[in-house]
Structure formats: structure tokens, C-alpha cells
Chain A
């Protein structure tokens, strides 16, 4: 019997997820042993045409990280969907858009304008902007198109599983892969795997009190007490509105949770839940003071939707999307 086939791909991502895969340390050898890795652009020299040449459903497991920013990302998403039995949205970008998704606060033309023209370090006198077609030596080259917005993977193709996290934590990756290696029954499709069912607070060891917040601090503005809940101390910690699974890594390093594991199981939108929670615990009845306290929070959208803007109910600063790519 031939080995099960594994593919890994990165779309619009930073590469951290790839490193997280390697962070499972010597266990990567077991993975290489058990699986036949058929596609992994970051590590192995397979070409797209190799994948295109495969019969459908040839890949047993595909870990797809990165969000859908360009037509190339989308093309590969469709291609890998076609060729894979199990497609996993791996990491926060594929799961819910993540940091690249914050670009949805700007229009495509504003982004291109800034990057190719207006940024102080750019000299572009000819006014050259990215093209989808380019002629060189009499040949025409197709280049990927930069989309209007960033989308998570499941808005482009159906996905079996999600592994959240920015990046997913190695023990969680290992746990999921072990499940397959050991041939244990898989959870129902559509599940979030490699994460907990509660919130980050469940894993946090700090002491929590009933909350009353008079002022929000950014982490550098205050020397926080190591045993006390960060939110109690006025540091905006996304822990209460974030799925557990990471082991409360950031808070154990004295930094507030940034929310990379996404919304907890029973919550539909991480940012709205958090803003609603925060506004409930502000310790003032005076509208002016409340406004002053709220204004303490730097970059509200970037804080509350740091990882989940494209998959949230906000999705984008202004809905620009045409019907073509909208999921059902």
C-alpha cells in the first residue's frame, strides 16, 4: 500500500505557518515517514504543473495556509481543492483572514497607490502599476491579479477542517497529524481542529476579579502585575473573546492575548463580542468620560479584528465585492 499523500501550500501568508510545521521538531521525520509529501513549495521543488497532472482527489491531506489575496491564490485554492480529499484551512490567514485581512480597511487602488507611488520610499516616475499581462521578448506573461479584498480560504472553496492560530501551535499541529497517522476517527467536516472549546481565559492562570475599567493601557504604558488578569489591569486582552488552544502563550509572557485563535465556539463574531464586553465593564456613567476611556484604545478595529476582519460580519471597510466570489 502506498503512503498517504500530503500537500502543503502557502497563499497570502507570512511563512510563519510553515515554520510552525517545522516546529514540531523531530516529529517532522515521522510525518515524512508516514506521508508521501507531494507538494510543498516552501521546502520541495514541485511545480504547479505537477499538481495539475495529478488525478482528482489524489492528495489525502492538504494543509493550506494563507488567505486569498490574488488570483494565483484563488487558482491554487481551486486546484488543491480538486486534487485533495481533505483540505485544511491551516492557520489564521486561511481560517479567517488574519493580518493580511486588515488590508480590507483600504480599497485596492489606495493600497496600490500607496505602495507603488505615494509611500515615501518609492520613486515611480513612470507610474508603473502591477499588470496582469506583460510582454517580454515577444511573449506574453500572465501575472496574478491583485483582488479588491482579502478572503479566507473557505470563501473561495469548501474546506473540511480549520486549524486556527497565528501560527497554529506545534503541539496542536502534532495532535491533529497524529490523529491521522494513528488512523483515529476524524471529527465531522467543518470542524475546527487543533483548538479548545472554551476561551483563552480557561487556560490563563492569572487571578480574575469582577471587572471595572477606568482606563485602557497599552502594554508599554503600564508595569502589569504578573498574577492579575490583564484586562482587570486595563490592558486590552482579547482572551475572553478568543478560542482556547494556544495554552495562553501571550498572557504567560505578560502580553495581552491578541485573539489569533479566533472566535470561541458559541460566538459568531469576535470583535463585536469583545466591544460589547468592554463597553459593559467601563466604570463610568458619564458619557464624556466613557468616550474618553474608549478613546484610550488605540486602533479599535485593528485590535478587536486583528485576525478576523475578512471573516467577520464587517468583512471590509466598504463592501466592494462583486458576487463572483461570495460564498453561499
Chain B
């Protein structure tokens, strides 16, 4: 530690501090316009000029990059310095009279009107003030080194290499973020259709997935994080006091040996983009149900306020049911949850805005406990219920003020009339559909799927949580669309079943199983692919198939398929069956 005297104040600072840091510690403000803690001081704006006195000599230096020395005396507000600052501000103001940061700083330093006119006067409020923040961020922080200065003197400007879009640019946005005037802008091209999930706003590369996340810690999106592209940045680790950020952490595959598995892989929501008539992906204010749910959330992009893309409150909202469900072109089944969440949406919109709310439904299915009551309550809240599937959503704007207005066309089957309802927000109740990777999961666990694509339970009524494979249980929407109470009930039942087997400690195997009579098997490999329980293995050394009796459920698929008769069902060989028939026929 060394001691420095700034404006008569003695401060103790570490040896490698700059004057600016020391002044900050002493509580003395030094104006800056090109300084950021994120990168090395650049010293280009000269605003931080201070007077350094050593003995009887004084010098003007820039505080941001001038290191302190033992016994240094600094004056930050001497007449000379005030004169320098004012001159700098006058020059800046004369060149960029409308730039916010320049105007603010000028006011703060007591400059109102420059005494002279600049030949390079630029009246753009977003003009580049050549502070170099973007260039330094790109070079030192991001380490992409794309932005740079070109030309000299008054012609100096910030450019991309060859003034073209550069492939080296990783589109991190750091330059736009540090730019004090808004001269550098991020233009998000094609912002929908690119991201699979919520695209209601930009987010940082390190983020907490949701406020309900457990554990509630941030994750790094390595595809967007600058550090993973250029090895630079590391801003988050610089600001993290407990040093909790570890860039070297990687996805790990951990293997557990388990006896039972509960498959609760959930669902995907139906992508309404192919149903072009509803304009999802084309019109700004057409939302999927999950996007709207995110919008409603108090931790969402609008903090729970229901707003249009232009930031205004909607005046009319249309909620269209059965998007992709109960539709022979997509999913014939009912997704079961949509009616109720659509009513919930309506209730919350009614609660939070003064918008008129229209529900377009085919049938209202309020089947659960308390659901019908909720429906009746909603009817009394003044929500317009229109029975009929909306035919299309079209743009209805005729004038500029109307921009973004949408028109829902539908047939109201209760009054037998064709209707057109103007709204400015449309919420689609997308179907619940099986996850895209469900085929892989199905194969992995030797499960089956029902025709709707969800995993098949052993028995729809008597055994809805287990599958045909012992030890593999299913719960939730992986088995079929269901609401939260049903999911909880099913999952609890599955958990209880798992526990009951654990408590018992042993498993009983059915005596019915297939066996390979080895002397007859020639290894034609017809059976190997067929076993729904993966019980058939191929013995390469013997060139025959073999049945694992523990896995075999005795379904007989392989027995039927075996062309040589080598695969037999224990106790049900052809000879035994024929003998039984003969016995019967003799009577």
C-alpha cells in the first residue's frame, strides 16, 4: 500500500492502482467518457485529465491510466483542469450537439453552449463519439477483434473489417451493450422460427432458467456465451464474489444401476406454425399457450403484465381452443388440459387488463373437481364464449393506427352465423403431443406406444402406470395428456408400486417363457429384432439365438415367428397342442 494525496486528501491504495481508482477511493469524482472497468484504460477522451505535482513541477496526465506513486500529489479540480475539461466538452458538444451522454456531461461540467462551430458537426443523437468502448470491448473482453478504427484525425470512425459484415463477428452484442450513445445497434434478424422455446425477449448467456428452478442457480448457454467462442469475456466470473463460476464444467454421463425406472418424460406442445390459417409465427401478437403462460408469469419478460409487442395493453383478446387436438389432420385426441387453462387465461386477462375476452371453443370440457364451478364463474365475469372453431386469423389493419389489429373469423354454431371478431392478441391452445424423441425412449425401455403416440400402459383401466416391460413404469403426460391432479395421482401410484417391490426384495417370474431348442436353431436372426422385452440375444460363438428367461414374458411373438420351430413356448410346444387337440377330439 502506498499513500497518495488527492485534492488534499490522503488515501492508501494498492501499488498498481491508477489515479482514477485512488480518487474513487477518496470519494472524488473524476469525469470519464471512455473508461470501463471491463478493459484496460484507453485514455482517449482526455476528460479525466488531472494535475500531478511532484516537487515544484506540475504535469497534466490522464487519471485513468496514470499509476500512483508514493507521495504523489494530485489536483483534480484546479483551474487548469477545469479549463481543460470545459474545452474538451465544448469541442465535443460542438461536434455532437445532440448526443445524450455528451449533453449530460457538458451540463454537469457547466458547459451550455460551445464557443465555436465544428466543421464536422453531427446532429444525430446516436452519433459515434469515438470513445472506443466498442473497439476495446471487442478486442479485450470478447477477444473477437472485429471492430476497429479507420482513418485519422477528424475522419476517424469505427468500422468492421472492409466495412462488411464479418464472419469473425460472433454477434455477441457486447459492442452495442457498451456503446454509450446507441450508435452500435443489435439488429435481431429472423427472431422467430429460429429459437425453439420462448422468444419473447433477449436474455443473457448466463441465466437462471426459471425462478422456480431447483437449484436456483444460473446456467451458461455455451452456444451463446462469448467465452466459449473466443475464450474472452469472463465478465460473470469477474463479478462473482464467491468465485462460483466454472467454465470447465461439462455435461457428465453418470451411470446408475437401478431395478426400476419411472418414465415421466412429459410432452411437447404442438407447433402451430404449419396451421398457417392462425398466423402463428407470422403475426406478432399470436401466442402459443406456453408463450402466453410465460408472459403471465411475474418473472417473465414483462413482469406479468399482459402487453402487446408494441408495449400497449390489448383491448381485445381471442383464445382459440383445440389447436391441433381433436383435429383429424393433426391429433384426433383431446388434449384435456386446454379448456381449463384457457379459462384460467381468460380469468387472469380479465383480472389484469380491461380487454374484451373471446373464447372460441368446440366443446367446453370442464370435467375435473371444481372445474365446472370455475367455468360458471368465468361466464359471470363477462367473457364471450363462442362455440365454433375459429377458421382463421387475418390482419385487419386498414390504417396506421390499426396496425397489428387482427380479425378472427369463425362460425358461431349456437346462433348459426358467420362472425368476424377484431382482436389485438390471439392465444392458441396448442395440443399436447408426444415428445419428439419418444421413439428413442420407447426403444430404450422396450415400451409400446398407443396409436396416439404416447407410451402404452399395460392396461388402460386396471394397470395404467406400468408398461409391458417389468420394472418400467410411466406417469404423467408421457402416458397421455393429463392435468396436474391426474399426473400427481398417477406418479404417486407409480412410486408406491416401485416401493412395494423394493420392500418385497424379490421379483416373481412367470413360468411361461420361450426357449430355444438349440439343436434346431440355425441362427437365421428372424426372431432377434422382434422381442418387445429385448430378451433374445444372439450367441455368436454358437451361431444361435438365446432367450433370457428373466426378461422373457412369454408373449410368444418369437415362437410364432421362428421358421424352423426351434423357438418353443415352454409347456406350449406344437406337439403338446396337437396332443391336446387329439385328446379333445377323441372324446
Chain A: residues with CB nearer than 8 A to chain B? 197-202, 208-212, 229, 231, 239-241, 244, 263-268, 273-274, 276-277, 280-281
What are 9 A-B residue pairs whose CB atoms fall within 8 Å in the complex?
A197-B520, A201-B524, A210-B529, A211-B525, A229-B525, A244-B522, A268-B565, A273-B562, A280-B527
Residues on B with beta carbons closer than 8 Å to the beta carbon of A199: 520, 522, 524, 563-564
Judge if B499 is at the interface, Cβ distance under 8 Å: no
Residues on A with beta carbons closer than 8 Å to the beta carbon of B543: 202
| Contact indicator A209/B519 (Cβ below 8 Å) | no
| Contact indicator B520/A273 (Cβ below 8 Å) | no
For residue B446, give the distance in angstroms from its CB to the closest CB of chain A: 15
The CA of A212 and the CA of B529, in the complex, are separated in Å by: 8
Contact of A277 among B517, B562, B578 (CB under 8 A): B562
Q: Which residue from chain A places its CB closest to the CB of B536 in the assembled complex?
A: A210
Residues on A with beta carbons closer than 8 Å to the beta carbon of B521: 198
Judge if B557 is at the interface, Cβ distance under 8 Å: yes
Contact of B563 among A209, A268, A274 (CB under 8 A): A274
For residue A53, give the distance in angstroms from its CB to the closest CB of chain B: 42
The CA of A278 and the CA of B104, in the complex, are separated in Å by: 84
Residues on B with beta carbons closer than 8 Å to the beta carbon of A200: 522
The CA of A287 and the CA of B474, in the complex, are separated in Å by: 27
For window 539-581 of chain B, which residues contact chain A by CB distance below 8 Å? Answer: 543, 557, 560-566, 568, 574, 578
Residues on A with beta carbons closer than 8 Å to the beta carbon of B566: 264, 266
| Contact indicator A277/B522 (Cβ below 8 Å) | no
Nearest 4 CB-CB pairs, A to B? A267-B565, A266-B565, A280-B561, A241-B563
Chain B: residues with CB nearer than 8 A to chain A? 517, 519-530, 543, 557, 560-566, 568, 574, 578
**Contact (A267, B564) CB under 8 Å given A198-B522, A280-B557:** yes
Name which of A198, A212, A276 has the most chain B CB atoms within 10 A of its CB.
Answer: A198
Residues on A with beta carbons closer than 8 Å to the beta carbon of B565: 263-268, 273
Contact of A267 among B525, B527, B530, B563 (CB under 8 A): B563
Q: How many interface contacts (CB-CB < 8 Å) are there between A and B?
A: 88
| Contact indicator A277/B561 (Cβ below 8 Å) | yes
The CA of A197 and the CA of B529, in the complex, are separated in Å by: 25
Residues on A with beta carbons closer than 8 Å to the beta carbon of B529: 210-212, 281
Residues on B with beta carbons closer than 8 Å to the beta carbon of A229: 524-525
For residue A195, give the distance in angstroms from its CB to the closest CB of chain B: 13
**Contact (A277, B520) CB under 8 Å given A241-B564, A267-B565, A268-B574:** no
Q: Which residue from chain A places its CB closest to the CB of B568 in the assembled complex?
A: A266
**Contact (A198, B520) CB under 8 Å given A267-B563, A267-B565, A273-B564:** yes
Residues on B with beta carbons closer than 8 Å to the beta carbon of A280: 526-527, 530, 557, 560-561
The CA of A296 and the CA of B562, in the complex, are separated in Å by: 22
The CA of A274 and the CA of B563, in the complex, are separated in Å by: 5
| Contact indicator A277/B525 (Cβ below 8 Å) | no
For residue B582, give the distance in angstroms from its CB to the closest CB of chain A: 12
The CA of A267 and the CA of B524, in the complex, are separated in Å by: 15
| Contact indicator A281/B526 (Cβ below 8 Å) | yes
| Contact indicator A198/B524 (Cβ below 8 Å) | no
Contact of A240 among B524, B560, B568, B574 (CB under 8 A): B524
Task: Beyond A266-B564, A276-B560, list 20 extra A-B contacts (CB 8 Å).
Answer: A198-B564, A199-B520, A199-B563, A199-B564, A201-B522, A201-B564, A202-B522, A208-B524, A210-B529, A211-B526, A211-B529, A231-B526, A264-B563, A264-B564, A266-B565, A267-B563, A276-B561, A280-B560, A280-B561, A281-B561
Residues on A with beta carbons closer than 8 Å to the beta carbon of B557: 280
| Contact indicator A277/B523 (Cβ below 8 Å) | no
The CA of A33 and the CA of B222, in the complex, are separated in Å by: 89
**Contact (A266, B520) CB under 8 Å given A199-B563, A277-B562:** yes
| Contact indicator B563/A273 (Cβ below 8 Å) | yes
The CA of A63 and the CA of B521, in the complex, are separated in Å by: 30
The CA of A184 and the CA of B409, in the complex, are separated in Å by: 93
Q: Which residue from chain A places its CB closest to the CB of B559 in the assembled complex?
A: A276
The CA of A85 and the CA of B382, in the complex, are separated in Å by: 102
Residues on B with beta carbons closer than 8 Å to the beta carbon of A198: 519-522, 564
Residues on A with beta carbons closer than 8 Å to the beta carbon of B578: 268
The CA of A239 and the CA of B563, in the complex, are separated in Å by: 9
The CA of A60 and the CA of B299, in the complex, are separated in Å by: 99
For residue B440, give the distance in angstroms from its CB to the closest CB of chain A: 16
The CA of A268 and the CA of B527, in the complex, are separated in Å by: 18
For residue B225, give the distance in angstroms from its CB to the closest CB of chain A: 43
Q: Which residue from chain B places its CB closest to the CB of A239 in the assembled complex?
A: B524
For residue A264, give the distance in angstroms from its CB to the closest CB of chain B: 4
| Contact indicator A264/B520 (Cβ below 8 Å) | yes
Residues on B with beta carbons closer than 8 Å to the beta carbon of A281: 526, 529-530, 561
| Contact indicator B519/A240 (Cβ below 8 Å) | no
Residues on B with beta carbons closer than 8 Å to the beta carbon of A274: 563
Q: Which residue from chain B places its CB closest to the CB of A277 in the assembled complex?
A: B563
Q: Which residue from chain B places its CB closest to the CB of A209 in the assembled complex?
A: B525
Q: Which residue from chain A places its CB closest to the CB of B525 in the assembled complex?
A: A208
Q: Which residue from chain A places its CB closest to the CB of B558 in the assembled complex?
A: A280
| Contact indicator B525/A210 (Cβ below 8 Å) | yes
Residues on A with beta carbons closer than 8 Å to the beta carbon of B524: 199, 201, 208, 229, 231, 239-240
The CA of A263 and the CA of B574, in the complex, are separated in Å by: 14
For residue A210, give the distance in angstroms from its CB to the closest CB of chain B: 4
For residue A274, give the distance in angstroms from its CB to the closest CB of chain B: 5
Residues on A with beta carbons closer than 8 Å to the beta carbon of B525: 208-211, 229
The CA of A8 and the CA of B181, in the complex, are separated in Å by: 110
For residue B443, give the distance in angstroms from its CB to the closest CB of chain A: 13
Residues on A with beta carbons closer than 8 Å to the beta carbon of B528: 210
The CA of A47 and the CA of B17, in the complex, are separated in Å by: 128
For residue A284, give the distance in angstroms from its CB to the closest CB of chain B: 13
| Contact indicator A201/B523 (Cβ below 8 Å) | yes
The CA of A41 and the CA of B520, in the complex, are separated in Å by: 39
Name which of A197, A201, A239, A241 has the most chain B CB atoms within 10 A of its CB.
Answer: A201
The CA of A191 and the CA of B170, in the complex, are separated in Å by: 80
The CA of A208 and the CA of B560, in the complex, are separated in Å by: 20
The CA of A188 and the CA of B324, in the complex, are separated in Å by: 69
Residues on B with beta carbons closer than 8 Å to the beta carbon of A197: 519-520
Name which of B519, B522, B568 has the most chain A CB atoms within 10 A of its CB.
Answer: B522
Residues on A with beta carbons closer than 8 Å to the beta carbon of B562: 273, 277
| Contact indicator A265/B520 (Cβ below 8 Å) | yes
Residues on A with beta carbons closer than 8 Å to the beta carbon of B520: 197-199, 264-266
| Contact indicator A240/B530 (Cβ below 8 Å) | no
Residues on B with beta carbons closer than 8 Å to the beta carbon of A208: 523-525
The CA of A273 and the CA of B524, in the complex, are separated in Å by: 13
The CA of A13 and the CA of B530, in the complex, are separated in Å by: 40
For residue B191, give the distance in angstroms from its CB to the closest CB of chain A: 39
The CA of A211 and the CA of B457, in the complex, are separated in Å by: 27
The CA of A229 and the CA of B524, in the complex, are separated in Å by: 9
The CA of A268 and the CA of B563, in the complex, are separated in Å by: 10
Q: Which residue from chain B places its CB closest to the CB of A280 in the assembled complex?
A: B561
For residue A327, give the distance in angstroms from its CB to the closest CB of chain B: 15
The CA of A157 and the CA of B519, in the complex, are separated in Å by: 31
The CA of A277 and the CA of B565, in the complex, are separated in Å by: 10
For residue A92, give the distance in angstroms from its CB to the closest CB of chain B: 18
For residue B156, give the distance in angstroms from its CB to the closest CB of chain A: 68
For residue B526, give the distance in angstroms from its CB to the closest CB of chain A: 5
For residue B386, give the distance in angstroms from its CB to the closest CB of chain A: 38
Residues on A with beta carbons closer than 8 Å to the beta carbon of B517: 266
The CA of A274 and the CA of B562, in the complex, are separated in Å by: 8
Q: Which residue from chain A places its CB closest to the CB of B526 in the assembled complex?
A: A277
The CA of A274 and the CA of B560, in the complex, are separated in Å by: 10
Residues on B with beta carbons closer than 8 Å to the beta carbon of A209: 525
Residues on B with beta carbons closer than 8 Å to the beta carbon of A202: 522-523, 543
The CA of A130 and the CA of B356, in the complex, are separated in Å by: 94
Residues on B with beta carbons closer than 8 Å to the beta carbon of A268: 565, 574, 578
Q: Which residue from chain B places its CB closest to the CB of A241 in the assembled complex?
A: B563
Q: Which residue from chain B places its CB closest to the CB of A232 in the assembled complex?
A: B525
The CA of A305 and the CA of B17, in the complex, are separated in Å by: 96
The CA of A293 and the CA of B562, in the complex, are separated in Å by: 20
Q: Which residue from chain A places its CB closest to the CB of B557 in the assembled complex?
A: A280
Q: Which residue from chain A places its CB closest to the CB of B451 in the assembled complex?
A: A285
